[in-house]
Amino acid sequence: MANGTAAAHVNDVDFYHYEGKHKGIMSWLLTTDHKRIGIMYLAAIVVFFLAAMMLGVLMRIEALTPGQTIMKPQTYNSIFTFHGVIMIFLFIIPAVPAVFGNFFLPIQLGAKDVSFPRLNLFSWYLYMAGGLIALLSLFTGGGAADTGWTFYVPYSIRSSANVSLSVFGAFVLGFSSIVTGLNFITTIHRMRAPGMSWFRMPLFAWALYATSWIQVLATPVIGITLFLIVLERAFGIGVFDPALGGDPLLYQHMFWIYSHPAVYIMILPAMGVVSEIIPTFAKKDIFGYKQIALSSLAIALIGYLVWGHHMFTSGMSDTSRVVFSLLTFLVAIPTGVKVFNWVATLYKGSIEIKVPLLFVMAFIFIFSIGGLTGLVQGALATDIHLTDTYFIVGHFHYVMFGGMGTIFFAALHYWFPKMFGKTYNEKVAIISATLFVIGFNMFYFTMFILGYLGMPRRYYDYLPQYQGLHVFSSIGAFIMVTGIVLMFGNLLRGLIKGEKATANPWGGTTLEWRIASPPPLENFDEIPVVTGGPYVHDRETYIMNPIKVIHKEEEAVH
C-alpha cells in the first residue's frame, strides 16, 4: 500500500465506528463499504423473511380444518402468492450472496472491497425498490396478486388483482441480482490477493463465482418474460395469450429457463458455506477441494438445461420430456459428489461440535432427503402422478428452505462473531436449532405423504381424508417457527448484550479469521500474500502484512 500511514489510520477502528464523510443514518445509506452493504442487506432480508414466514403460519392455520378456518379463498390465494414471491425473490435468491457474499467475499480474497463499490450500493437500492414495489402492489389497484409466484398465463393476464405491479417488483429485483453477479465475477477475476490462484480460493468464492454467472446469464430471461406479462396485461400484445394467438407454454418455458437455474442461484452459495464450515470444525483440510469446486460449475452448467422438468404434464412433446428427465438425473451426480466429499472431510478430523456444525449436519440430512425426493420427480412415470401436489411442496421446501434456509442460519451463527464482534448464547442456539430440525421434518415430510395420496398444491380447501396429515404438518410448522423465533431472539440478545468476540473463535483458516472482529474499514493494513490452499490447518498459508514481514527479514539478515 503506497499510502501506508493513511491506511493504518483508517484501520484503527472497526468499520462500524469509522467516521467518514457522512454521519448517522447517512453513513449507512451512502456507504460504499461492502461490509455495511452486507449488513443493510441482512437487516432487510431478515425482515422480509420473518414477514413471509408469518404468511406461511397463516396458511398452516387455515389448513387445520377443511373449509374456512380463518380466511376466505381469495385471501389464501394472495397469501401463498406473496409467501412465494417474498421468500423466493427477496429472501432465498439474495440471502447468502448479498449478505455473506458481500461481507466476506472481498475479505476471503484478500481485497479491500468489491470491484465496483458504488454499483454494489446501487444494487441494494434496486433490491429495496423492488421489494417496496411488490409491497405497494398489496395496497393498490385490484388488490394483492393471486397468481402464485409462478405468474402462469393466461390466469396472470386475466386476474383482476394487481399482478402488473408485483411482477414489476420482481423485474426490478432481477436487476439487483444481475448487478451483484457482475460485481462478484469481476471481483473474483481481478481482486484476488497475490498468490491466490484459482485453486487456492476458498470454496465459498467458487460457489459465488458459479452463482454469479447464472445470475448474469439467466436473470435477463425472467426480466423479459415478466415485462412481457405487464405488456400483455396493458396492451394485449398476444405473445402468451392463446385468445390472441399466443402460447401459454412459451411462457412456462421462458419462466423456467430462468427459474430453474435460479434454484441453483439459491443453493450453490449455501453449498459454498458448508464447504467453509466443515473444515473449520473438523480442523483439517477439505476432502476433494477440486471436485467440490468443479462440481459447482457442473451444477451451474447442467442446471441450465433441465428447466423442462417443471413441465412434464404441460403437454410439451414427449421427446422433450424424455430429454429433460435424463438431464435432470445427470444434475444429481455433481450434487452427490459434494455431499460425499463433505462427509469424507469429517473422517479422521478433530471435530469440535459447535452450533454452526450442528446446522450443517442438519443441512446434510435434510438436503439429502430433498435431493433424493428430487429423483422421484425426475423420473417421468412418478412425476406425472406427483407434480403439482404436496409432494412438490415438500421437496421444494426440503431443498430450498432446508437447504439454503438452514445454511443461512448456519452462516449467521458461524460469522456472527466476525460480523458484529459479539457472541451469542450457545445453549439457546442449540435448543432453537433442535426445535427447528424436529419441527421442519414433521412439517415437510408429511407433505410427501399427502402428495402421494393425491393432495394438490395451492388448495385453499381440501377433502376430509387429508385432514389428519394436515394437522400433523401444521403442528410441525408451529414447532419449527418457535425454534426460528427463539433463534433470532437469541442472536438479537447476543447483538445487544453479547460478550466481545475474539478475532478467531472457531480456529478458522481463511482470511476473515485473521483480521479483527468486527473487521476494520479496509479489512487489511496491507494486502496479504497467499502461499497455499484455504483450509490448511497444520502450517501457515497466508503472509499477513507482507511488507512488514519483508522488512523484518531484511533486518534479521543485516
Partner 1 sequence: MDNPIINSVDNVFILIVSISVFFLLLVTVAMIYFVIRYRKKRNPQASNITGNTSLEVVWTVIPTVLVLIMFWYGWSGFQTMRNVPADAMVIKVTGRMWSWTFDYDNGKKSDTLLYVPFGKPIKMEIQSADVNHSFYIPAYRVKEDAIPGRTNYLWFQPTMMGEFDIMCAEYCGMNHSYMLGKLIVMKPEDFEVWKNTLPKPLDTLKSDSLRVGTIPKDSLRVDTVKTTKDTVKIMQVDPKIADSVGQRKIRRMKK
Contacts to partner 1 from residues 389-408, by CB under 8 A = 389
Part in contact with partner 1 (CB under 8 A); list of ranges 187-195, 211-219, 446-454, 524-532: 446-454
> DSSP label at 21?
S
User: Among 1, 8, 216, 249, which residue interacts with partner 1 (rule: CB under 8 A)?
Assistant: 249
Q: Which of residues 143-182 bind partner 1 (CB under 8 A)?
A: 146-148, 152-155, 158-159
Query: For the chain, how many residues are written?
Result: 558
Part in contact with partner 1 (CB under 8 A); list of ranges 86-94, 178-186, 378-386, 405-413: 378-386
User: Among 14, 423, 458, 482, which residue interacts with partner 1 (rule: CB under 8 A)?
Assistant: 458
Annotate 366-388 with DSSP letters as a single string: HHHHHHHHHHHHHSHHHHHHHTT
* H-helix or E-strand spanning residue 543: strand 542-543
> DSSP label at 65?
S
Question: Shortest gap between Cβ of 154 and partner 1 (angstroms)?
Answer: 5
Q: Binding to partner 1 by residue 483, rule CB under 8 A?
A: no
User: Which one, 318 or 555, has the nearer CB to partner 1?
Assistant: 318
Q: Binding to partner 1 by residue 198, rule CB under 8 A?
A: no
Q: Which of residues 96-115 bind partner 1 (CB under 8 A)?
A: none
Question: Shortest gap between Cβ of 470 and partner 1 (angstroms)?
Answer: 13
Angle at 544 between CA 542 and CA 546, to 5 degrees: 105
User: Among 123, 373, 441, 473, which residue interacts with partner 1 (rule: CB under 8 A)?
Assistant: 373
Helix (H, G, I), strand (E, B) or coil at 202: coil
Phi, psi of 543, rounded to the nearest 5 degrees: -100, 110
What angle, 0 to 180 degrees and rounded to 10, lies between the N-to-C axes of helices 467-497 and 406-420?
Answer: 10
Q: Binding to partner 1 by residue 492, rule CB under 8 A?
A: no
Question: Shortest gap between Cβ of 12 and partner 1 (angstroms)?
Answer: 36
Q: Binding to partner 1 by residue 493, rule CB under 8 A?
A: no
Part in contact with partner 1 (CB under 8 A); list of ranges 86-94, 111-119, 200-208, 371-379: 371-379
User: Among 18, 28, 116, 329, which residue interacts with partner 1 (rule: CB under 8 A)?
Assistant: 329
Q: Binding to partner 1 by residue 237, rule CB under 8 A?
A: no
Distance of CA 9 to the CA centre of its chain: 36
Q: Binding to partner 1 by residue 238, rule CB under 8 A?
A: no
User: Among 320, 382, 502, 504, which residue interacts with partner 1 (rule: CB under 8 A)?
Assistant: 382
Instruction: Count Cβ atoms below 10 Å from residue 139 Cβ, excluding itself.
Output: 10
x/- mask, partner 1, residues 497-536, rule CB under 8 A, reads ---------------------------------------x
529: β partners: 543
Distance CA 43, CA 378 (A): 37
User: Which one, 4 or 507, has the nearer CB to partner 1?
Assistant: 507
Give the burial class of 553: count Cβ atoms within 10 A of its Cβ; 0-12 exposed, 13-18 middle, 19 or more buried: exposed
Q: Binding to partner 1 by residue 353, rule CB under 8 A?
A: yes
Q: Binding to partner 1 by residue 12, rule CB under 8 A?
A: no
The closest of 333, 211, 362, 337 to 286, measured between CA atoms, is: 337
User: Which one, 211 or 373, has the nearer CB to partner 1?
Assistant: 373
**CB 228 within 8 Å of CB 219:** no
Q: Which of residues 278-317 bind partner 1 (CB under 8 A)?
A: 282-291, 313-315
Is the N-terminal amide bond of 154 cis, ω within 30° of 0?
yes
Q: Which of residues 25-84 bind partner 1 (CB under 8 A)?
A: 67-68, 72-74, 77
Question: Shortest gap between Cβ of 510 and partner 1 (angstroms)?
Answer: 16
Question: Shortest gap between Cβ of 53 and partner 1 (angstroms)?
Answer: 22
Q: Binding to partner 1 by residue 276, rule CB under 8 A?
A: no
Q: Which three cell numbers stand for residue 244?
A: 390472441
Q: Which three cell numbers stand for residue 332?
A: 444429481
Part in contact with partner 1 (CB under 8 A); list of ranges 337-345, 439-447, 467-475, 492-500: 337-345
User: Which one, 132 or 453, has the nearer CB to partner 1?
Assistant: 453
Part in contact with partner 1 (CB under 8 A); list of ranges 13-21, 128-136, 221-229, 326-334: 326-334
Question: Shortest gap between Cβ of 271 and partner 1 (angstroms)?
Answer: 15
Q: Binding to partner 1 by residue 427, rule CB under 8 A?
A: no
Q: Output the CA–CA distances (angstroms, integers) from residue 355 to 278, 358, 419, 425, 558, in the order listed.
A: 12, 5, 16, 10, 49
Half-sphere exposure of 539 (CA within 13 A, CB side): 5
> DSSP label at 529?
E
User: Among 352, 426, 499, 553, which residue interacts with partner 1 (rule: CB under 8 A)?
Assistant: 352
Q: Binding to partner 1 by residue 326, rule CB under 8 A?
A: yes
Q: Binding to partner 1 by residue 383, rule CB under 8 A?
A: yes
In this structure, is the dihedral angle defined by the CA atoms of residues 67, 87, 298 and 250, taken in order, positive or negative? positive
**CB 413 within 8 Å of CB 355:** yes
Q: Binding to partner 1 by residue 365, rule CB under 8 A?
A: yes
543: β partners: 529
**CB 81 within 8 Å of CB 147:** yes
Q: Binding to partner 1 by residue 20, rule CB under 8 A?
A: no
Give the burial class of 235: count Cβ atoms within 10 A of its Cβ; 0-12 exposed, 13-18 middle, 19 or more buried: exposed
